[in-house]
Chain A
Amino acid sequence: MLSEAEGKQLLERVLGLSRADEAQVSLVATESGHLRFARNSPSTSGHYCDHELSLRSTFGRKSATATVNQLDPLSLQELVARSEQLAQLAPEDPERMPDLGPQSYAAVNAFDPALSSQAAAQMVAGSAACLDRARGAGLVAAGFSEASDRASWIANRRGLRAYHRSTEAGFSTTVRTARGDGSGWASGSGNSVKQIDHARCAERAIDKARRSVAPKPLAPGKYVTVLEPACVASLMQLLAFSMSARSADEGRSFFSEPGGKTKLGQQLFPESVSLHSDPAAPVAPGAPFSGDGQPQLPRAWIERGKLQNLACERFWAQQRDREPVPPPSNLIMSGGQGSLDELIASTERGVLITSLWYIRFVDPRTLLLTGLTRDGVFWLENGKIAHPVSNFRWNDSPIRVLRQVEAMSASVRASPREGSASNLWVPALRVKEFELSSVSDAV
């Protein structure tokens, strides 16, 4: 891994080679290792070191970006030449904004200096803890353990200098019965492998696999539903992805209103719903700057149910006389009191869903999504899991889910089952209704 100083020197060398009117160079250095297992045995594993060195060159209002992963002097010259050649060929961009000047960024502590030397052994030990428990229970485990160390730099002619280094670790396991008639899943994430309780993940997945055998029929329909934090993470990530000010202003978003207006400022959800981002949040830190070098500031997206912010690119912000707002680098949803188990205990009747899968937009006008439940769906009765039910296809939207919130657990760190983000801090939710559209025969 390049040191901070080595990365800075490299960026200065690229800027020194540039002849463009403006030049912004960014570098990402990554070292990452992983271990996969399936059928109670390792399958594939790997380790890589890589770099991504990008240069955006601008002549007047013409710009282009080239990227290389080789850092030798010849490659740097080629990078500059290609970026400048493409920029000169590109037409003028009327929306081209000047590069940013010097910025100040939040101090973010998301780095474990011991990770690179200890992760490989920790991943093997954590996976072994999971495999031992699954084998001991007569069950079949598959899973994935990953640890990465990533450093990012940005520099430009106008004096912007940014640097951030973070480590990240994730673990997930799916435990199935030998006959394939039961399945459970659990995951953990953090900024070091040490933060993950592999044994606890294994035990939760094993418990769900055992409990999910012999589901009782449940007709498709709308039910009171407890969505575990991983489900909420999936929905909030997709909601955040949709929160674009320009799309709303242009009339092509759920957040649009007739006549070129938007839903900004509207009370869309109950007062219990608040969604923020803050890169320095110790529970789930994010990058302190966006890809173009804008500072990530603490920001309310939904405050006590009211829509407070939509992401707004710099050009559009200038046009509309607003502050530019980069998309968030983490998501922090305010939760309630108590654990998931306590939320279940307070539920008279309803469905408990462990994770959501293969989620896709159906209708961007309403943010209607479709997806499946997976690896643990149960019927709750009098505050307890009464029995398993089958998997379902669902058709619902994060908007409707947030409008239907009845109760929340305390927030925890969670990852969407699809996607790589691991820095969401979200509660489990109980919602008045969630639309289970049809039965899935999958186990």
Chain B
Amino acid sequence: MLGALAGGSLGLLEGCAQPARTPAQPEAPEPAFDPEVRALAALALDAARSAGASYADVRIADYRTQSLRTREARVVSVADDTSRGFGVRVIAQGTWGFAASSELTREEVVRVARQAVTIARTNSALQREPVQLAPAERHVAVYRTPLRRDSFQVSLQEKLDRLLSINALAQRQPAVSFVDSRMTFLREHKFFASSEGALIEQTLDRLHPAFTITSVDQNQGGFETRDSYTDPRAMGYEYVEDYPWEDDVREAASDARAKHAAPSVEPGKRDLILHPTHLWLTIHESLGHSTELDRALGMEANYAGTSFLTPDKLGSFQLGSELINVVADKTAPGSLATSGYDDDGEATREWPLIERGRFVNYQLTRDQARWVHAPRGFACSYAESWRDVPFQRMPNVNLLPGPQPLSLAQLIANTDDAILIKGRSSYSIDHQRYNFQFSGQTAWQVKGGRVTGLLKDVAYQSSTPRFWAACDAICSRDEYYVGGSLFDGKGEPSQSNAVSHGCCPARFRQIDVLNTSRKA
């Protein structure tokens, strides 16, 4: 389930233009880990084993978040947060246990490790089948998000100047009433050690700059907005530097203004051309979540939900047209879920989920592999912070480009009557990932092979298998774009996972379009 924050991009960006297949960095013989951190980790593992754990791992991690918010000529807030602590996860008597603390002392590490074992032992009274871990290779390694410019080394002044210049430009555009802009920078630095000998240090950087322009019609009492087409990325400040802010601000202001007078959509079955700034979210909700094994097994039945893709459908269910090829991936540079290793200590990789429309694989972790008779996990374990339990989280799930050369311009030229939707707006899907409803930042009428103008009040509804079966065209690789979110929520207590989805513009035939205007 996606949180209600994040945004939709104009162009292709370096590192995100192709569905990459870069493997995790080669492992060095023995990286120079911080000896103090390593000693605390060893202490935790020893304490857990001594207390009776058959398996234990520990993550000692620190997180930094910088958030800047502005509106018009004003800096609304400057916030800089750090959080440091450790979590110990164990299996004892066939049951998971987990405990965590922000107090990084030897005494507390031992206490917390023992507490994790106590929790596991207590809960084992209710356990019916013992937890089993699929085999995993032992890794001793270091990984870092590839980046050109470290966001945390960029001065506050430079960042605020950028935001205020976006606002100033927006305010110079006709009919712009308000503009707010923001930047979030995140750094996740964690050391993982397990009782199987893994020692892994990772530093993951992510950022998300965005703006929203509002145009108010004071006479009629209406207002229209348009968000930037930016997306969060696992990159450095180069994303901010390379983004075409001026173009997007001018276009957004023009869109917000034009929406006031745009015709309200006629509901009914319509062909849709979905721009990748919008389509990534439809992929996320309908294909990303339905192929999660924990949902399919009922592990998320009480909160995030289950999946219509039950294990009996694995390998045989036709989920969409033969154009649909979807891969899961945790290695593409720039994508949010990319890391060298997951929070089980497994090396990340790429694997197919859907081939020629057929459902062929789940997303899964080590402790789930046996449920589908898989020899190993796919490195999908992740915890939002040191104090959260790692569990199966979505990798980057990407729709592969179409096989034939096809640009967006050509796709539009080949389409007689359709609606082109760009950017993310409202999104909702049921708890088994069938019925969904989406809308975009802008919707454009396509008539006779060209874009003729804006429409408003547009949303579309469909059911996942019906929608993907209706896909009859996907643009080719040079239109590939990566969108994503920092706030994919799942689990109880709910945890956020950052995830990207690469795709090209695609066309869907005869989808139900509804008109969302209502009397206030």
Contacts and interface: CB of A to CB of B under 8 A. Distances in A.
Interface of A: 32, 34-52, 54, 63-70, 82-83, 86-87, 89-91, 93-95, 120-121, 124, 127-128, 131, 140, 142-144, 146, 172-174, 176, 180, 183, 185, 250-252, 254, 256-260, 357-366, 368, 370-372, 374, 391, 393, 395, 397, 399-400, 418, 420, 437-443
B29 interface: no
Contacts of A91: 75, 160, 164
Given A69-B85, A442-B430, A46 B100 contact: yes
Contact of B434 (A44, A364, A442): A442
By Cβ-Cβ distance, the 3 closest A-B pairs, closest first, are A442-B432, A258-B221, A440-B435
B178 A49 contact: no
A143 B461 contact: no
Interface in B88-118: 95-104, 115
22 contacts: A32-B493, A36-B302, A37-B126, A38-B297, A41-B128, A44-B389, A50-B85, A51-B102, A65-B79, A69-B85, A93-B76, A140-B298, A140-B301, A258-B218, A259-B221, A357-B431, A358-B430, A360-B426, A371-B428, A372-B430, A437-B437, A437-B461
Interface residues of B, number: 95
A352 B116 CA distance: 42
B223 interface: yes
A251 B218 contact: yes
Contacts, number: 275
Contacts of B123: 35, 42, 45, 124
A144 B303 contact: yes
A50 B102 contact: yes
Interface string B180-196: 00000000000000000
B101 A48 contact: yes
A38 B160 contact: no
Interface in B33-76: 74-76
A14 to B, nearest CB: 15
A441 B387 contact: no
B520 A42 contact: no
B125 interface: yes
Given A36-B492, A131-B126, A47 B119 contact: yes
B276 interface: no
A363 B98 contact: no
B426 A372 contact: no
Contacts of A45: 96-98, 119-120, 123, 389
Given A66-B79, A89-B155, A438-B461, A258 B301 contact: no
A252 B437 contact: no
Contact of B463 (A176, A258, A366, A441): A441
Contact of B492 (A69, A146, A360): A146
Contacts of B87: 46, 48
Interface in B403-441: 426-435, 437, 439
Given A143-B302, A372-B431, A391-B430, A256 B221 contact: yes
Contacts of A142: 298-302
Contact of A368 (B214, B387, B463, B518): B518
A93 B164 CA distance: 13
A189 B409 CA distance: 55
A40 B128 CA distance: 8
Contact of A39 (B115, B120, B178, B299): B299
B127 to A, nearest CB: 6
B298 A252 contact: no
Nearest to A38: B299
B102 A70 contact: yes
A346 B154 CA distance: 65
Contacts of B214: 252
Interface string B121-154: 0111111110000000000000000000000000
B316 interface: no
B435 A38 contact: no
Interface string B237-252: 0000000000000000
Nearest to B214: A252
Contacts of B220: 258
A372 to B, nearest CB: 5
B426 A361 contact: yes
B452 interface: no
Contact of A362 (B103, B429, B459): B459
B78 interface: yes
Nearest to A34: B493
B216 A370 contact: no
Contacts of A36: 302, 492
A91 B168 CA distance: 15
A180 B306 contact: yes
A176 B95 contact: no
A39 B426 CA distance: 32
A86 B78 CA distance: 7
A334 B387 CA distance: 39
Given A42-B123, A93-B74, A397-B518, A259 B218 contact: yes
Nearest to B156: A89
A366 B223 CA distance: 11
Contacts of B433: 442
Given A46-B98, A89-B157, A362-B437, 20 more contacts: A39-B128, A40-B128, A41-B126, A41-B128, A42-B127, A50-B102, A70-B84, A87-B78, A251-B177, A357-B431, A358-B1, A362-B426, A365-B520, A366-B518, A370-B428, A391-B435, A393-B461, A397-B518, A437-B514, A440-B435
B173 to A, nearest CB: 17
B428 A359 contact: yes
B30 interface: no
B221 A257 contact: yes
B83 interface: yes
A41 B367 CA distance: 15
Nearest to A63: B78
A441 B436 CA distance: 11
A38 B298 CA distance: 7
Contacts of B429: 358, 372
B50 to A, nearest CB: 19
A30 to B, nearest CB: 9
B508 interface: no
A263 B443 CA distance: 31
A374 B301 CA distance: 11
